[in-house]
């Protein structure tokens, strides 16, 4: 008998944000093919009897091609195994789930998608940034800072000031990102926040403006960028208390800039 493949969203990192369905899928898995940045706490939930294999890609370095991942999914399922393809966040948002579903359908293998808390929601919640606000933001745009060479450019040419922009996988080309957003119509004073390791004990948040974005420190992956007026609603007190950020300056027009304490070192992948 053929097995079954579950495309499971692991959420943004906190194991308590796993859905009950995701937890059950992990517990009955024969093999788990997981992304590079799945937290150790979530991987610890996989039964000792299951095969656990990293098939992740990180920082543009591809240890395994997508075609190889597709082949493994088909191979294990044809052996009658219950296969979990464990992805960070939600599998249907920048997770290449569409490609894997297509391959599995062609092979006649049953596939089920188990949604997860996507990074944008987890990161915004951890920094207490409302992605929409009745008075200032009625739309959310999700884009990726990393795209395939032959894929479409999903960045719009024009943005309304009422739009909240969430950039997944922003990388470290902060100057380029800021330029693209300002060229699309956002003001230099638009507040933005870089959020790293959202929902975990390693969470870091750096709040600034688009104009100052090129000067911010490199925060470790996984990270994303939230840009828009809603960032003004971030929990400033929480940032001070939890991460030791200190207020550099403030005004009525610009948000506070939070800097790492003196003597700390920049972090990178």
Query: Helix/strand/coil (H, E, C) string of 72-108?
Result: HHHHHHHCCCEEEEEECECCCCCCCHHHHHHHHHHCC
The pLDDT > 70 percentage for the chain reads 82
The answer to whether residue 265 sits within a structural domain is no
The answer to whether residue 8 sits within a structural domain is yes
- Domain final position from 86, 114, 142: 114
pLDDT at 79: 97
- Domain final position from 63, 82, 114: 114
153/85 same-domain check: no
137/255 same-domain check: yes
The CATH number linked to 142 is: 3.30.950.10
26/128 same-domain check: no
The answer to whether residue 57 sits within a structural domain is yes
- Token pair listed for 152: 């479409």
Distances (CA, A) of 38 to 8, 15, 42, 75: 12, 10, 7, 23
184/204 same-domain check: yes
163/84 same-domain check: no
The dihedral region occupied by 59, where left means phi > 0, alpha psi between -120 and 50, and beta the remainder, is left
Of 51-60, 212-221, 234-243, the least confident: 234-243
Confidence band for 156, pLDDT divided at 50, 70 and 90? confident
The pLDDT > 90 percentage for the chain reads 77
58/139 same-domain check: no
104/139 same-domain check: no
- Return the active site residues: 35, 57
- Domain final position from 114, 142, 169: 114
pLDDT at 135: 92
pLDDT at 246: 31
The domain of 194 spans: 119-259
Cβ neighbour number for residue 183 with a 10 Å cutoff: 12
Mean pLDDT, the chain, rounded, equals: 85
Domain count, the chain: 2
- Residue range 162-196, pLDDT digits in tens: 999 999 999 999 999 999 999 999 999 999 999 99
124/109 same-domain check: no
């Amino acid at each position: 008998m053929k097995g079954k493949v579950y495309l499971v969203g692991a959420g943004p990192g906190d194991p308590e944000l796993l859905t009950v369905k995701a937890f059950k899928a992990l517990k009955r898995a024969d093999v788990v093919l997981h992304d590079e940045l799945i937290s150790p706490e979530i991987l610890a939930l996989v039964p000792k009897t299951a095969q656990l294999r990293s098939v992740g890609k990180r920082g543009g370095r591809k240890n395994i091609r997508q075609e190889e991942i597709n082949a493994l999914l088909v191979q294990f399922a044809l052996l009658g195994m219950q296969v979990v393809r464990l992805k960070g966040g939600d599998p249907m948002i920048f997770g290449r789930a569409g490609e894997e579903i297509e391959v599995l359908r062609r092979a006649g293998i049953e596939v089920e998608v188990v949604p997860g808390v996507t990074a944008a929601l987890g990161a915004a919640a951890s920094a207490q940034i409302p992605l929409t606000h009745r008075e200032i933001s009625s739309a959310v745009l999700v884009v990726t800072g990393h795209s395939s060479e032959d894929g479409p450019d999903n960045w719009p040419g024009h943005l309304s000031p009422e739009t909240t922009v969430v950039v997944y996988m922003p990388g470290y080309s902060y100057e380029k990102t800021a330029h693209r957003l300002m060229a699309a119509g956002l003001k230099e004073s638009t507040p933005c926040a870089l959020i790293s390791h959202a929902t975990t004990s390693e969470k870091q948040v750096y709040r600034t403006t688009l104009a100052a974005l090129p000067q911010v420190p490199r925060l470790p992956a996984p990270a994303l960028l939230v840009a828009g007026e809603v960032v003004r609603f971030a929990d400033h007190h929480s940032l001070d208390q939890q991460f030791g950020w200190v207020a550099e300056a403030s005004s009525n027009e610009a948000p506070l800039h939070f800097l790492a304490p003196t003597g700390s070192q920049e972090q990178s992948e």
